[in-house]
Structures are given as structure tokens and as C-alpha cells.
A = this chain, B = another copy of it.
Amino acid sequence: MKILLTGFEPFDNSPVNPSEKIVYMLANESIPGVEISTAVLPVDLKLGPIALLNAVKVSEPEAVICLGQASRRAVISIERVAVNLLDFRIPDNAGKQVEDQPIEPNGPAAYFTTLPVRKIYSVLKENGVPSELSLSAGTYLCNQVMFTLLHYLKEQDLKIPAGFIHLPALPEQAAQMKGSVPSMSLEKMIQGIRLAIQVIAQE
């Protein structure tokens, strides 16, 4: 099975982004029955979605998992819903900030993920990877990319599993943030994403 795995470049003054690191690590790993292509997307209102759709067109995947960072979350957050809304709390890497704008003015209010999220959640739990099913991917780039992906697949009538998974901060990031910030090791995140890929490949 051909799977496209995407991450994001660092943002919000951090020198790293766990989603980018995972993408690089899993690109070089062999998972039986899976062929992984990858892309690292810019944290940019305009260019992020373009880079994602370009990767989808080029790699012609049979499933897509997008990854991103959610700094204050304590566990791997498997997103259920992407909403048609842009409302940035901080500017993107190009300095652009928007409030209460639609992603697709003629699009629907939301899309549900088409990943087998309940199954992924239970497999992660069984394997000792802290995770949760999440009802909101926010209104920043992560949600935008998830919505854009699901909208594109719908428009193209491409019936492949696709969705988004949020990652906590890495320990080295959490150590630099104010207050008591939860984190997760890169190894544990990779284990979680590898398990998610295997679930998708087996379904």
C-alpha cells in the first residue's frame, strides 16, 4: 500500500517540529507491505495546502496521514473532524494572520476523517502509546491542511483513507516552554505513527 505521510516545518519560534522529524525517520524505514512517500509542508496559509495537494498528485497514495504539532496536548491526538474555518491565534511563518475566514467559501462546514480512528486509538492504547480521539484540530494550519485534503479527495471522488494526527511537544521543546508542559519522546511518537500506518495497511 502506498501511503503519503506529511509533516510541517517548525513554527512559533521553535527550531524543530516533531512531525517533520517523524516524516524523515519513517521515510527511511521499511514497513512490510507499505511504501511511504513523504512531504514536509510550509507553515504558510497559501503554500501549505498547495504543497500538500502537490504531494498527493505526485505520489498517488492509497492513504494519507498528515501530522502536526499541538504543543500543550499530552498525548497523540487522532483528529476526527476538520472544519471549514481559519482563525489563527498566531501568524503563520509568512507573518499572515486571519480571523473567522472559510477555507473553502463554497465548501461544507466540515469533513470527518476517513481513517479508521477508533481502531487506531485502540491499537495505540494496547501497545502502550498514550493517545486520544480528538473532536477539534483547531483553526490553524493543521485543520486547514486536513480540511483541504478531505475536500480535494471528495471533489476528485478519491475514496482513500485520509486524516490528521496531532503530536505533543518533544521533551527538548517542552523544557524551553513556560510552565509545566507535557511532552512525548520521538521514539514513542514514531511507534504510534508506525502502528497507525499498520492499522491502515491492514484494513
Contact = CB atoms under 8 A, between A and B. Distances in A.
A56 interface: no
A110 interface: yes
A136 interface: yes
Given A80-B85, A129-B175, A130-B175, A75 B108 contact: no
Interface residues of A, number: 41
Interface string A154-194: 00000000000000000110111001111111011000000
Nearest to A143: B135
A185 B188 contact: yes
A172 B83 CA distance: 32
Contact of A184 (B81, B125, B171): B171
Contact of A74 (B81, B118, B182): B182
B172 A128 contact: yes
A100 B109 CA distance: 19
B180 A75 contact: yes
B125 A174 contact: no
A124 interface: yes
A75 B181 contact: yes
A73 interface: yes
Contacts of A179: 132
A-B pairs with the 4 shortest C-beta distances? A110-B110, A128-B172, A182-B182, A74-B182
